[in-house]
Chain A
Amino acid sequence: MAVTQTVPASAQPGIGVGHRLLRDPEMAIGVALLAIVTVVAIVPGLLAPQSPLAISVDQALEPPSAAHLFGTDDVGRDVFARVVHGARVTLSICAGALVLSALAGGGLGLISGFFGGAIDMVLGRIVDVILSFPPVILGIMVTGILGPKTANLVFALATVYMPVFFRIARSGALSEVGQTYVEAARSIGLSEGVILYRHVLRNVLPLILVQYVILFPLVLQIEGALGFLGLGVQPPTPDWGAILQQSKDYILLAPWMSAFPGFAILWTALGLMLVGRSLQRRLDRR
C-alpha cells in the first residue's frame, strides 16, 4: 500500500472505473490482447479478405509468404483466413457454453442453497457425479457418445464447469439466507422469489461474473482439445481446435498449419487469464 497516495483514484476528476482498472499492468495487457481477438472475431473479413473455405489444390502446403501470411493447408486454403475466421466460431462456442453453464449452475446453486432440504440433496449428488470425472474426460465422454455436433459440444462444455458455478452460487445463497436483512425482508412479506432475485442474486452475481472470466481460458483449452480429437466442430468449418486436428498429419511437413491456430488459443487464453487474475485480486481485496 503506497503511503504517498493522498487522493484516492475514485475521487480524482475524470478518472473512471475503466482507467483505474487499467492501472494494473496485468489487466491492461490482458485487455489489449482480448481487444485484438474481439475485433478479429467481430469483423474477420476486414483482416482476411480471402475465404477460409476456398480450396486451391495447386497452392497446397505452401509455407508462410506475403501472399499467405500463415501459409496454406493440405488443400491450399489460406491458414491466416482460417485462423481469423475461426476466432468467431471458437469463441462464440466457448462463450455460449459458459453462459449456459453459469445460468444452469448459478440458478440451480441459488435454489439449492436457498431452499435446502431434498432439492439440495438431489442437486448436490448430481454435481458430485459430474465432479467425479476429470474435465477433459467428461468432455470426451459426452461429445464422443452423443456424437460430434456443435450442439453436443456446447452441451458438453456447459456441463463440465456447471458444478463450479453451482457451488459458488450455493454457498453464496447459504451465507445470505441467515442474514438479518433476509429475515427482515421475509417479515415484511416479500416472497421467496423476490428475496432470491433482489437480494441473494445481487450478492452472488459478482462472484459468478469473475468466475466466468476465470473459467473461460479453461473452456477454451478443452474446446481446442475436443476439436483436436475430432470430437468438436466438424470440417470444413474453421475452428481453432478443428484446424489443429486437420493439421496433425502434416505436422513435420507443414508445421505452420498447426503453429498459428494453437498460438491463437494461447494468445486468447493468456489475455483471459491476465484479466481473470486481476479481477480476482480486486474481489479478494474487498
Chain B
Amino acid sequence: MARYLTQRLAASLATALLASVIVFALVRSVPGDVVAQMLGQTSDPTAERSLREFFGLDQPAYRQYLTWLTNVLSGNLGTSWTRGQPVAQLITSALLVTLQLGLMTLIVATATGVPLGLVAGIYEGRLLDKIIQSFSLLGLAAPVFWVGLMLLVGVSSLAGWSPPLLYVPPSASIADNLAILVLPIASLGLLQAAAYAQFVRQSVVSAFHQDYVRTAIAKGVPLRLVFFKHVLRNIGIPLVTFMGLILIQILGGAVIIESVFALPGLGRLLLTSIETRDYPVLQGALLIVVVIAMAVNLTVDLLYRVIDPRVRLT
C-alpha cells in the first residue's frame, strides 16, 4: 500500500509539473501581456521597460518559470498583477464559493440520483424505469447553464421571486447565502442526478444478472435480502469511483454556472485573470484545479483498495 501510494504520488507530481510547464508556455505564447494592456494606446518605451522589469517579464521564459516554481514550492503563489493582492488569498476566497456550491450539489445530486437509479434498476423495463430513464436522458442532454437560465425565468415568472444579485457569504447570512445558491445547485444537481441515475441503474441491472444473485434468488432467498446483501453491496464499489468522476464534473460545471448567477467563485477568477492577462492568478488557479482533480482521483483509487480487497492483490 505504501509503495503504491508513493508511486501514485510521484506520478501525480510529475503530471502536475508538466501541466504547469504547459500552462506557463501557453500563456506566454500569445501576444499582448499585462503591460501592453496597462499602457493601452500610449507608447512610452521607458515606462514599458520598467513595468516589464517590475513583473519580471524581461527575463527569459524559463527563468520566469523557475522563479515561479521555486516560489510555489515554498508556498508562495505570488501577487496578482492587476489587483495587488496575494494570489493565495484570491484563490482561497474564490475556492470557498466553488467548494460550497460543489459539495452542496454533490449532496443533492447523490440524494436524488442514487435512489432514482436504484428504483429504475429494480423495476427494469417497466414504466417507472422508463420514466426515470427519460428524465435522466433529458437531464444529461440539457446544457447546464441553459437549465440555470430557464430555472431563473421559471421561478421569477411563476413565483415572482428571483435570487439576490450580489453574493453573500454564509458567514454573513446563511439564509441569503442559500437564496443565492439554490438555483445554481438545482441546475447543476439536475445534471449530476441524471448521471447518477443512469450509472446506478446500469449497475443494479448488471448485478441482478450475476450468477450468484440468480443462485440466491433460485434457492429462495427473499428478494429484499438479495437486494440488500448482494446487489447493493456490489454497486458500492463502482459508486465510489463514479462519485469522484461526478465531483470533478461538478467542478467544471460550477465554473459555468457561476457566470450565470454572478458568483465570485473559481470560474470568475479564471475568466477575469484570462481577460486581464494576470498570469500569477491564472497559473495559480489552474494549478489548484489540477491538484484538486488529482487529489480526488487519488482518494478514489485509495478508497477503492480499502473497500475492495480483490483490488489490493493486483
Chain A residues engaging chain B, CB cutoff 8 angstroms: 125-126, 128-129, 132-137, 140-142, 144-147, 217, 221, 224-225, 228-229, 244, 248, 251-252, 255, 258-259, 262, 265-267, 269-270, 273-274
Contact = CB atoms under 8 A, between A and B. Distances in A.
10 contacts: A136-B256, A137-B270, A141-B23, A141-B26, A146-B26, A146-B30, A248-B149, A258-B153, A262-B150, A266-B141
Given A136-B253, A146-B26, A225-B143, 12 more contacts: A126-B18, A132-B19, A133-B19, A137-B255, A248-B260, A252-B152, A252-B153, A265-B141, A266-B143, A269-B141, A270-B137, A274-B137
Contact of A262 (B18, B149, B152, B248): B149
B290 interface: yes
Interface in B137-178: 137-138, 140-146, 149-150, 152-153, 156-157, 162
B294 interface: yes
In the A-B complex, the 7 residue pairs with the smallest Cβ-Cβ separation, listed nearest first, are A262-B146, A136-B252, A134-B252, A144-B274, A269-B141, A270-B141, A255-B153
A244 B18 contact: no
Contacts of A217: 140-141
Contact of A134 (B140, B152, B153, B249): B249
B79 to A, nearest CB: 20
A210 to B, nearest CB: 17
Contacts of B138: 266, 270
B142 A132 contact: no
Which among A137, A224, A248, A266 has the greatest number of chain B C-beta atoms within 10 A? A137
A32 to B, nearest CB: 15
B38 interface: no
A2 to B, nearest CB: 13
Overall SS of chain A's interface: helix
Nearest to A126: B18
Interface of B: 11, 14-16, 18-19, 22-23, 26-27, 30, 137-138, 140-146, 149-150, 152-153, 156-157, 162, 248-249, 251-253, 255-256, 259-260, 267, 270-271, 274-275, 282, 286, 289-290, 293-294
Which among A134, A267, A273 has the greatest number of chain B C-beta atoms within 10 A? A134
A128 B145 CA distance: 28
Which among B22, B152, B256 has the greatest number of chain A C-beta atoms within 10 A? B256
Given A146-B30, A266-B141, A137 B149 contact: no
A230 to B, nearest CB: 9
A246 to B, nearest CB: 13
Contacts of B143: 221, 224-225, 228, 262, 265-266, 269
Nearest to A252: B156
A258 B148 CA distance: 11
Nearest to B294: A132
Nearest to B247: A134
A244 B251 CA distance: 22
A132 B16 contact: yes
B153 A229 contact: no
A273 B140 contact: yes
B30 A145 contact: yes
